Homo-oligomer: A and B are copies of this chain.
């Protein structure tokens, strides 16, 4: 069961990686639709969201907390400068690699434990606020944004 969920995560990470990693700085400045997020923002956004999964799933400290202000808590075009594509690629690979190594060390019972942002009391009331649910919701989140990138004319 856990294998199916981790496989679904990996598949979506691979799809995102195949899409974003080969893009040039210029291509990364394209918007997914007129006036909407640029690709560089979406890539940094996914990286920031995945970075937050490290403490949330109790797999380690964040690597790039500074990505939040750039790609998550503020909309696109707020930050005067963004990291270079090569830097985002490095952060993306490091964070996703650390997550995957962490996933492989978790037992089925670990996945059903509470994630770090829910209290013991709230978890007792709703045991679905577990680590597996975080994994599944972050997997659909990748797919949500991949659907947007698919709209860009080739």
Contact = CB atoms under 8 A, between A and B. Distances in A.
Interface of A: 1-5, 7-8, 11-12, 32-34, 36, 108, 111-112, 128, 130, 132-133, 136-137, 139-148, 150-151
B148 A36 contact: no
A32 B2 CA distance: 34
B1 A140 contact: no
Contacts of A2: 1
Contacts of A139: 136, 140
B143 A7 contact: no
Contact of A132 (B4, B112, B132, B137): B4
B1 A112 contact: yes
A136 B48 CA distance: 23
A133 B33 contact: no
A139 B9 CA distance: 12
Nearest to A136: B8
